[in-house]
Structure 1
Amino acid sequence: MKISKKQAALLLLLATILWGSSYIFLKQATESGMHSGLINACRGTISALFGYLLFHRQINHMTPQDIKLGALIGASEYLAYYLQTAGLRYTTPAKSSFITALYVIIAPLILWLFWHERPLRKTYFAIALAIIGMAILTNIGQNSLHLQYGDLLTLIATIFWALEIIFFSKFSARFSSTWVVLFMVSSWQATYGWLTVLVGERSTLGQVHWAKALLPIIILAIVITFLGQAMQITGQMHTDTVSASLILMMESFFAAVLSVLLGYDAVTPRLVVGGALLILASAIMQVDLKSLFLLWKKKR
């Protein structure tokens, strides 16, 4: 399906709003008594079933390589979701979203350490901004240089988000189709989630308020996980990298706005300044500044 650049931008904007809202629904799921493993088990199961219902023809032709790569990417995504969800029990959606945005800075460092791909010079400036932003946002200076528990879990989750991005960029072309990617990642997320429930969360199942948990889980699984990813992949296929990056980096902004509107966060100088510095650090990493300057110069 061929779409225009404006339509692609609209898809990316909608996907970004959905990703931003996911922090709210995750928070609501944790408040209903669900623990991280159960949330991700339900989320992955519903998303995989929905995907199979719509695209079973493509999925039925998956290859052994699809299964192996799905297990790898699914593991990194599951650990990211698990730690992020666990962190949301102790921190706010806005703080979680701003810290999660650091994956664009962590990814180049991982590529440098394990793939020997030297980071661009702008990476060091972005890291400095990110550290300052993190210190302001998390109030680390008044906590004896220790991150609060929820913020620490979220920061560790960010490492796995960075790994997921790296695995997608290096291996996604080997998948037989986009829908197989989404199905396999969701399936492995469900598998890892149910294993976690069986091993460590069975005693918590009686504490879950299922009527309260049902709606956020369905929205997370179908609207955000499946449709959000589909819109993002389709949008990125029909627009340039700079435009896509500028839109997608607004995820933290939408998460913060929704969190404030729903009363999870208050507008404080720390939230505004710390969050702005983290968004700026992410923007520096995602945007090709040289190409942006040349484009601006050309339009003049």
Structure 2
Amino acid sequence: MKKRYANLLLMVVTIIWGGGFLATDGALETISPFYVMMIRFLGASIFPLVLGWKKLKKLSAVQIKQGVITGFFLFFAFAFQTFGLVYSTPGKNAFLTATNVVFVPYLLWFIYHKKPTRKEIFASMICVIGIALLTLKPNALFLGLGDILSIICAVFFALHIISLERYGAHTDAICMTALQMITAGIISSICAFLFETAPSTIPLRAMGNIAYLIFVSTLLAYLLQTYAQKFTSANSASLILSMEALFASLFSYLLLHEVMTPLMMLGAILIFLSVIFLEYRPKKNKNIKN
């Protein structure tokens, strides 16, 4: 698959996650955070486990270890994001989560000694400015507990993106998705049983949110992301996936009738421009005069 098609798949993932942000917020109204994570990850693990069972049995110990590490990062990213959403506003949570686009190039530099280019740094900075304009309110400069949790979440999302780039290329996408989901699901279950009380009933509205989280926002989205990242870079992936904040705002505008201000529109434009700037490669002139 060509890189541009992989990036288009990642764009689909961001659209899915834009709706998933609202579904998570709705599910948290009636179900505690770890139980939401347990339900979504264990539910999303069933299909890839069944479909990829024969291939999973043939995986090496190293491949299984890589899938578990990736799932470990995924669990902690969602744990910190979910609790960040509980103690912060949705706008600040979305912004701080999306700052993983800044962490990715520097973590690649720190872990793998892959120095980021000026173009990558500039594009990530423009993207963060755009996300800030899109999601933050004038009184959002103060950092509370939820905001600190959201920043930690961004680091784990960055590590998850990097691990998919490093490990996903060597393992079938369905198998890698299964390993991620079951790992995150098991850890979520342990935390849910230890620290929270199981919900006595689940309202019909929450059932709809949970169904979206399991089958669309988790299963479909991570299958697409895992497959697409075989053909694109971690820096490109993080930049495109940061557009989740854009689509979350768009869905809030369309479904919840939230106001889109001129600054928010400017932020959306900057996010688009940052992606185009990073991915633009001018065609070389093949007409060479003799």
TM-score by length of 2: 0.79
Which residue identity is paired with 1:162?
Answer: A
1:251 maps to 244
Instruction: Output the CA distance in 2 between the equivalents of 1:201 and 1:209.
Output: 15
Cα 1:139–1:152 change in 2 (3 A) is farther
1:169 maps to 165
- Name the stretch that deviates more: 73-82 or 213-222: 213-222
Cα 1:181–1:127 change in 2 (3 A) is closer
2:196 maps to 201
Cα 1:184–1:152 change in 2 (3 A) is same
Instruction: Output the CA distance in 1 between the equivalents of 2:227 and 2:67.
Output: 19
Cα 1:190–1:235 change in 2 (3 A) is closer
Is it true that 1:214 corresponds to 2:207 in the alignment?
yes
- Structure 2 runs not aligned, ≥5 long: none
Aligned residue pair count: 286
- Cα deviation, residue 159, structure 1: 0.8
33, 39, 43: which one aligns with 1:42? 39
Q: Percentage identity across aligned positions? A: 29
- Cα deviation, residue 162, structure 1: 0.4
- Cα deviation, residue 219, structure 1: 1.8
Q: 8 Å contact 2:161–2:234 — kept in the other structure?
A: no
Cα 1:210–1:50 change in 2 (3 A) is farther
Q: 8 Å contact 1:98–1:279 — kept in the other structure?
A: no
Instruction: Output the CA distance in 1 between the equivalents of 2:20 and 2:52.
Output: 24
Instruction: Output the CA distance in 1 between the equivalents of 2:162 and 2:180.
Output: 15
Instruction: Output the CA distance in 2 between the equivalents of 1:242 and 1:116.
Output: 14
1:101 maps to 98
- Cα deviation, residue 180, structure 1: 1.1
Instruction: Output the CA distance in 1 between the equivalents of 2:233 and 2:70.
Output: 24
Summarize deviations over 1:101-125 as a string: whole Å, max 9, x none. 3222211111223333222123443
Instruction: Output the CA distance in 1 between the equivalents of 2:65 and 2:144.
Output: 36
Between structures 1 and 2, the one with greater helix share: 1
State the Cα RMSD in Å: 3.7
2:84 maps to 87
Which residue identity is paired with 1:138?
Answer: L
Instruction: Output the CA distance in 2 between the equivalents of 1:210 and 1:156.
Output: 31
